[in-house]
A and B are shown apart, each in its own frame.
Chain A
Amino acid sequence: AQSVSQHNHHVILSEAASLELGCNYSYGGTVNLFWYVQYPGQHLQLLLKYFSGDPLVKGIKGFEAEFIKSKFSFNLRKPSVQWSDTAEYFCAVKRRLTGGGNKLTFGTGTQLKVEL
């Protein structure tokens, strides 16, 4: 089955530590890839996206992700996390719908807690 896998379900880091969250997908062909973040009590927000071009994508708040086609991966990174990065992070792949349009297929999410 086509899927998106996030291997780390819960991550706890100290402030200033480096972050890498894994994401693998099982689709072939062209994919559009996204990372969304959900801060406590808030709605899902787009962190960054990859459609084409440079496989290293920079997003908001110092986050970046690297698309590695050969590994079917789109890992999220941040060199130095802050307490305010505590949130749940979702990787997603956009796929075409048969009748037209596109949908997002999400991973199960990674809950990140940053401790002071």
Chain B
Amino acid sequence: GAGVSQSPRYKVAKRGQDVALRCDPISGHVSLFWYQQALGQGPEFLTYFQNEAQLDKSGLPSDRFFAERPEGSVSTLKIQRTQQEDSAVYLCASSLKRTGADEAFFGQGTRLTVV
């Protein structure tokens, strides 16, 4: 596809349930980012991949959050034992260059609601 694709667009999870959010970056993009956007806030950095290597996960809020990109393309963000404070829009972005210093292209996000 032409852009970054995320699925599902909406996810409702019961508290304690595990969820998996998928990101298909633009083909050929080396850098991939996950961001979390709470209501009324700007996106907050979660983690960064350069190809399949997770170079930075300093923004992951707890050890319940886990991200992977095993073949250097599609990425999955997994949240275990979801809590209400995990409710947010999760954004994926990709960029062409290795450093991620060029323009980042964003997907439409997955809106997670934990009830």
Contact = CB atoms under 8 A, between A and B. Distances in A.
Interface of A: 4, 6, 32, 36, 42-46, 49, 90, 92, 94, 97-109
B108 A42 contact: yes
Interface of B: 3-4, 31, 33, 35, 40-45, 48, 50, 55-56, 58-59, 91, 93, 98-101, 103-104, 106-109
Contacts of B101: 32, 94, 102
B108 A97 contact: no
A101 B99 contact: yes
Contact of A100 (B3, B42, B99, B109): B99
Given A97-B55, A100-B55, A100-B99, A108 B45 contact: no
Given A99-B56, A101-B31, A108 B42 contact: yes
Ranked 10 nearest A-B pairs via Cβ: A106-B42, A44-B106, A99-B55, A97-B56, A103-B45, A101-B100, A102-B100, A43-B108, A100-B55, A43-B106
B56 A108 contact: no
Contacts of A92: 42
Contacts of A105: 45
Nearest to B6: A43
Contact of A103 (B4, B41, B56, B109): B56
